[in-house]
Homo-oligomer: A and B are copies of this chain.
């Protein structure tokens, strides 16, 4: 099938899916989950080809690990789909129906977006996960994964298409041609695709934002800060700084930079520096920070703007909260920002003036996540302001339409 044909089929399937009952969608999801487990061997066989190809190309080991599927991982994917089936269906709710002076009843009805394009990289679990979230929210999906996982993706999508009992077949499709041209074409299919969600590294996301004509929801990059205020609980500050940095350094909600109020630097830096070092975190510090430990590397201008995604942190001693806010505004990516403070006014100032998707007082930035926020699922974390901001669950895969009940009103 050409991409246009996929688009047409998806558009038709989206109409059917939009009016399918919650029970029917859940039944389809559960039958897919069972089928993935029952047919795990066919996925593992296909996955082996992808792994062999990756090894032949000398791809890094952690990339191969991300690519690998075994029975356990397939069973986890199936469990994730069963979990999505248990979530409340966002579709159909009517919000705030009002009666206008002329007697018209006007309400907002929650409806699916329509056709969602997902452009992603090497992780084949995204295939099943994203498709299941789209089905539950009544959306058809066109998946365009990376070439590294193409055989695994084909196997997964084939099972989802064949065993999605009661679901319109065109509701899940995979772009099998993984050339750059198909990605570009998908990004420009404004007649067939309602929204594009890129999932992957900064390069992929930039390419999509630069080239798409279809509306994009940008996900991803996080240069997140923890600001330790003058008046704070030092033990709490230590725990938050360490947790935000080392619990999972490769993810977007991990801390990349620590800002410390100058009046508490003498107390806090001698605590946190050895703790970071003990956890194998490389420290790149401002001139002031360097005075506390001669193993610290001087930070460059570039360091303040870098999302390391690694066991590295930049540290800066800051004049006051205003300077902390200025620094974060200048170098942050509007993802997740935290203050540790016991000062009421400082907490409110930080919450008001930091323009990020998630702003924390006295908690780790690592909580920015659909599951941690109680959404039960997540398709990505939006770092743009339009449509969705922060973790995106099922609700963020919907839109509204106005429904109006009249009895002959004219204007």
Contacts and interface: CB of A to CB of B under 8 A. Distances in A.
A410 B364 contact: yes
Given A353-B15, A358-B401, A363-B104, A240 B408 contact: yes
6 contacts: A15-B355, A19-B352, A100-B374, A104-B363, A215-B215, A367-B404
A161 interface: no
Interface stretch (A275-283, A310-318, A386-394): A386-394
| Nearest 7 interchain pairs by C-beta | A363-B406, A243-B410, A387-B387, A385-B399, A215-B386, A236-B408, A366-B411
A211 to B, nearest CB: 9
Given A351-B403, A404-B367, A247 B358 contact: no
A384 interface: yes
A389 B243 CA distance: 41
A411 B243 contact: yes
Interface in A361-382: 361-364, 366-368, 372-374
Q: Is the interface of A mostly helix, strand, loop or mixed?
A: mixed
Contacts of A410: 239-240, 243-244, 247, 363-364, 366
Number of copies of this chain in the oligomer?
A: 2
A233 interface: yes
A304 interface: no
A386 B399 contact: yes
B359 A402 contact: yes
A111 B356 CA distance: 10
A383 to B, nearest CB: 11
B411 A355 contact: no
Contacts of A297: none
B355 A404 contact: no
B385 A113 contact: yes
B216 A215 contact: yes
A76 to B, nearest CB: 20
A93 B217 CA distance: 24
A359 B404 contact: yes
A357 interface: yes
B389 A247 contact: no
A18 interface: yes
- Which of A100, A247, A362, A402 has the most chain B CB atoms closer than 10 A to its own CB? A402
Nearest to A368: B402
